[in-house]
Structure 1
Amino acid sequence: MKKKLLSVLLTTVLVTTMFTGCGNSKTSSDKTKAGGTVKTESTSDTKEGKKVNIYCWNDEFKSRYEAYAKDLAEKHGVEVNFVIVANENNAYQNNLDTALQAQESAAADDKVDLFLVEADYASKYTKSEYALDVVGDVGLTKEDLAGQYQYTKDIVTVDGVQKGTTWQATPGLFAYRRSIAKKVLGTDDPTQVQAALSDWSKFDGVATKMKDAGFKMLSGYDDSYRAFSNNVSKPWVDGTKIVVDDNIMNWVKQTKDYTDKGYNNKTTLWAPEWSADQGPDGKVFGFFYSTWGINFTLLGNSLSDAKGKQEVGNGIYGDYAVCEGPQAYYWGGTWLCAAKGSDNLPFIKDLMYRLTCDSKTMKQITLDTQDYTNNQAAMEEIAKSDYKSDFLGGQNHIALFAEAAKKIDMSNISDYDQGLNEAFQQSMHEYFEGNVDEKTALDNFYTSAMEKYPELTK
């Protein structure tokens, strides 16, 4: 996810203390059931600490808390501290690991209470002792969690125990420039554009047309990677052996071809040149983005005046649309994990319920932010409504996300996904740039992978 850290200029630990309140051990949480929303009182004999420490890598979750759940601090009589460490060079995980390892001996006010993880490394924590069972330990019920997309639960479930929960579902789509589609394809209609891009062979054919018309199909080497890596036939590791799936090699073949033929701009993910290709001066047809990318990254990059109003006339706001693209995929996501040793489980339970289970809250988050939230009923309701995104030229992109979410397959995830995906992409950059041949790039990948994970073999 998401690598959303790059939109937040946080390079050091930021501790923010806010919302001190005076409450008692009896708290209420909103529960939405068939027939309407009712208030239910949750009581606990557990003595709560006075400070809740939440570890994360940017301020996205902090903004969700402030907008939709800050009243819970007053109800529980706690202070909420956000410990934010930007995840450059693995800084976030390193800082979190240090804090969790010191959890048992830490003073009450210094303990980690809640920490956030991304899909690529979630299993590192859910398979450890540090993440608690959200049902057996925290107190959410199976009924509370029933409305969530199954894959979001599968990612953080170990031996039948769910050890995290999220407010997001992150299916991916292909975001394209309407103006370029009209010039090259003769239409910007999402249904017709999807027909032209419905499989990789057609996608390659459109890439040729884009080049002939003076445009680039994609910005750089990494753009289509997730659409291939999320559709592999087996995990990265079989026993201890590293397995490079055929579909990963299909990405290599396509990207080398696009690079040699001038179908891309030879950029890398998150580089300034990549971001610029999404803006007013960009000549790139489209970008693979999941839910958070549309409203969190692409919108910002589209503006000519970042501080100006988000409206038509500011850069290319309104010139993008989305379609499913050649393959279903997902990208990113942020999960909340309750830390073993926390003395604030009643607060954590209510916070998790409010932000990841309550359908009314989930629907409002989507309406307010265009984020795609983790409640099937709420998303289906918006998908069938007259909801429109001004940024996407009046399109109801939630309807497309709702269909894409049903196709997400998590059966081939592994504990090594983050490290091996990053190492593979980095090694292949040298091949795409013509500095090494494919065999050498693969050998360099294996070397890098086994240095990072000594237990693995080629």
Structure 2
Amino acid sequence: MKKKVLSIMLAASVMATMLAGCGGTDASTQTEGKASTQAENASSSLEEGKVVNIYCWNDEFKSRYEAYAKDLEEKHGVTVNFVIVANENNAYQNNLDAALQAQESAASDDKVDIFLVEADYASKYTKSEYALDVVGDVGLTADDLSQQYQYTKDIVTVDGVQKGTTWQATPGLFAYRRSIAKEVLGTDDPAMVQEKLSDWAKFDEVASKMKDAGYFMLSGYDDSFRAFSNNVSTPWVEANKIVVDDNIMNWVKQTKTYTDKGYNNKTTLWAPEWSADQGPDGKVFGFFYSTWGINFTLLGNSLADAEGEKAVGNGIFGDYAVCEGPQAYYWGGTWICAAKGTDNISFIKDMMYRLTCDAETMKKITLDTQDYTNNEAAMNEIASSDYSSDFLGGQNHIALFAEAAKKIDMSNISDYDQGLNEALQQTMHEYFEGNVDEQTALENFYQSAIEKYPELTK
């Protein structure tokens, strides 16, 4: 899974259509009988479709579905069709929005049945009429959803109604090179390294030591952003006014210092140079990564031979470990939404249950892929077992993720997170590179933000 947080706001005409409210009942207060009755009524009012269309932007969910839920096609007598549109330049959302707007008049085989969303723009869809209540409409129960991490439910809950569900939780950690830790810090033990990185002041001290030893603490400008932006005290927007939180400015200050002192390698997120810094020739101590990033992106970038065996001896496979780092945070995640107008409610209910609620499936996904799944009981079982990751030098990273997941705070999430996060990072790059001063960079950010969201003010 190679996440790119690349969504932009829809045109005003599209947003006006999509932001119609959808009422419902809090999942925590639903009774199983009522939920089942509502789902049965919804299902019986439509002839069950023969094609299930699933809209997504890459093949990650397709691989999960085919590995763990494809047998449901035979049970329901359906064929699943994946409509995959890469999300470059907002193409995925634009394509999905057009399909949802045409939903009412679409033929059965052409209807959107399921669509996927990411955290940074989930609220656009959950606040619209197009995403169904997973309890009242689809038929999952409060008991079914009880082991999911609360923050994964909060992200897609509007006025007490949960309008999506996910198989993954995405707490973040700090992944570091064991060999560099031994050389510079005298130990690669995760507990001891964590002691040296447990707050930002200590993190800065280690950054200085890394520079003196010929290494970079971080790769580029954006690496620590999520650890700061997920710990703000206020949302991005209050009463239509843009609020630049103090913790966002702490990221700006740290990154400017790291750039000027040579503590980072001046790369940008997802750039080839950034990926190379994670590989055999890299001189970077560590990377802030959530669950998907470690077992997909970081692992892939660590290999000298991408087509070769994923094992010790191929590049720096086995040279990474993880620790909690200075602050708890999360990054990314993909949610499954049922589309209003679908004629495959029965299939959707079974698929959502299998892939996001069933503890045995969640456990198997983690054991098979090292991904961190959205079932607290299953993850705690693995965390307390002798499970270990060869990629992380034999470490049971699930135990650390289990602790980090409990600390995630979604209280300051807003509808503007993706657009404003991206705008700030992009405009601040000019400041970090010395092309403009800080105040000019901030003014450029406000201008970019208001052009994107004309309803906002400085």
TM, length-normalised to structure 2: 0.91
- How far apart in 2 are the matches of 1:105 and 1:446? 41
Which residue identity does 1:77 align to in structure 2? G
Partner of 1:295: 295
- How far apart in 2 are the matches of 1:455 and 1:116? 27
- Give 3-state SS (helix, strand or coil) of 1:52's partner: strand
Per-residue deviation, residues 54-86 of structure 1 (Å, max 9, x unmatched)? 000110000000100000011100010001111
- How far apart in 2 are the matches of 1:423 and 1:74? 46
- Give, in angstroms, the shift of residue 2 of structure 1: 6.8
Partner of 2:65: 65
Bigger Cα displacement from structure 2, 179-188 vs 104-113: 104-113
Partner of 1:26: none
Partner of 2:409: 409
Task: Report % sequence identity.
Answer: 87
Residues 194-209 of structure 1 aligned to structure 2 (within 5 Å)? 194-209=194-209
- How far apart in 2 are the matches of 1:114 and 1:376? 25
- How far apart in 2 are the matches of 1:186 and 1:85? 47
Which residue identity does 1:238 align to in structure 2? E
Per-residue deviation, residues 73-128 of structure 1 (Å, max 9, x unmatched)? 11100010001111111111111111111111111111110000000000000000
- Give, in angstroms, the shift of residue 236 of structure 1: 0.1
- Give, in angstroms, the shift of residue 5 of structure 1: 8.6
Per-residue deviation, residues 316-367 of structure 1 (Å, max 9, x unmatched)? 0000000000000000000000000000010000000000000000000000
- Give, in angstroms, the shift of residue 47 of structure 1: 2.6
Partner of 2:378: 378
- How far apart in 1 are the matches of 2:218 and 2:166? 31
Which residue identity does 1:407 align to in structure 2? K
Partner of 1:48: 48
Partner of 2:251: 251
- How far apart in 1 are the matches of 2:154 and 2:448? 29
1:2 and 1:332 in contact (8 A); partners too = no
Which residue identity does 1:380 align to in structure 2? N
- Give 3-state SS (helix, strand or coil) of 1:412's partner: coil
Partner of 2:25: none
Partner of 1:23: none
Partner of 1:31: none
Per-residue deviation, residues 222-271 of structure 1 (Å, max 9, x unmatched)? 00000000000000000110000000000000000000000000000000
Bigger Cα displacement from structure 2, 226-235 vs 42-51: 42-51
Partner of 2:444: 444
TM, length-normalised to structure 1: 0.91
- How far apart in 2 are the matches of 1:394 and 1:378? 20
- How far apart in 1 are the matches of 2:452 and 2:3? 21
Residues 85-96 of structure 1 aligned to structure 2 (within 5 Å)? 85-96=85-96
- How far apart in 2 are the matches of 1:230 and 1:166? 20
- How far apart in 2 are the matches of 1:102 and 1:208? 57
Which residue identity does 1:208 align to in structure 2? S
- Give 3-state SS (helix, strand or coil) of 2:219's partner: coil
- Give 3-state SS (helix, strand or coil) of 2:269's partner: coil
Residues 340-379 of structure 1 aligned to structure 2 (within 5 Å)? 340-379=340-379
- How far apart in 2 are the matches of 1:121 and 1:427? 21
- How far apart in 1 are the matches of 2:334 and 2:135? 19
- How far apart in 2 are the matches of 1:439 and 1:102? 45
- How far apart in 2 are the matches of 1:290 and 1:404? 10
Which residue identity does 1:412 align to in structure 2? N
1:5 and 1:57 in contact (8 A); partners too = no
- How far apart in 2 are the matches of 1:439 and 1:111? 49
Partner of 1:36: none
- How far apart in 1 are the matches of 2:147 and 2:48? 29
1:124 counterpart = 2:124: yes
Partner of 2:425: 425
- Give 3-state SS (helix, strand or coil) of 1:407's partner: coil
- How far apart in 2 are the matches of 1:198 and 1:323? 9
2:5 and 2:120 in contact (8 A); partners too = no
- Give, in angstroms, the shift of residue 425 of structure 1: 0.3
- How far apart in 2 are the matches of 1:146 and 1:279? 40
Per-residue deviation, residues 195-221 of structure 1 (Å, max 9, x unmatched)? 000000000000000000000000000
Partner of 1:81: 81
Which residue identity does 2:330 align to in structure 1? Y
Bigger Cα displacement from structure 2, 293-302 vs 102-111: 102-111
In structure 2, do the counterparts of structure 1 residues 450 and 235 end up closer, same or farther at CA, with 3 Å as the change threshold?
same
2:2 and 2:296 in contact (8 A); partners too = no
2:303 and 2:316 in contact (8 A); partners too = yes
- Give, in angstroms, the shift of residue 134 of structure 1: 0.2
Partner of 2:387: 387
2:219 and 2:267 in contact (8 A); partners too = yes
- How far apart in 2 are the matches of 1:136 and 1:78? 23
2:2 and 2:297 in contact (8 A); partners too = no
- Give 3-state SS (helix, strand or coil) of 1:321's partner: strand
Partner of 1:457: 457
- How far apart in 2 are the matches of 1:88 and 1:440? 28
- How far apart in 2 are the matches of 1:260 and 1:384? 43
Partner of 2:13: none
Partner of 2:224: 224
Which residue identity does 2:400 align to in structure 1? L
**Mind listing any 5+ residue stretches in structure 2 that lack a counterpart?**
7-38
- How far apart in 1 are the matches of 2:294 and 2:137? 35
- Give 3-state SS (helix, strand or coil) of 1:133's partner: coil
Per-residue deviation, residues 127-151 of structure 1 (Å, max 9, x unmatched)? 0000000000001011100010001
Per-residue deviation, residues 255-289 of structure 1 (Å, max 9, x unmatched)? 00000000000000000000000000000000000
Per-residue deviation, residues 144-197 of structure 1 (Å, max 9, x unmatched)? 000100010000000000000000000000000000000000000000000000
- Give 3-state SS (helix, strand or coil) of 1:142's partner: coil
1:4 and 1:297 in contact (8 A); partners too = no
1:2 and 1:331 in contact (8 A); partners too = no
1:220 and 1:267 in contact (8 A); partners too = yes
In structure 2, do the counterparts of structure 1 residues 342 and 106 end up closer, same or farther at CA, with 3 Å as the change threshold?
same
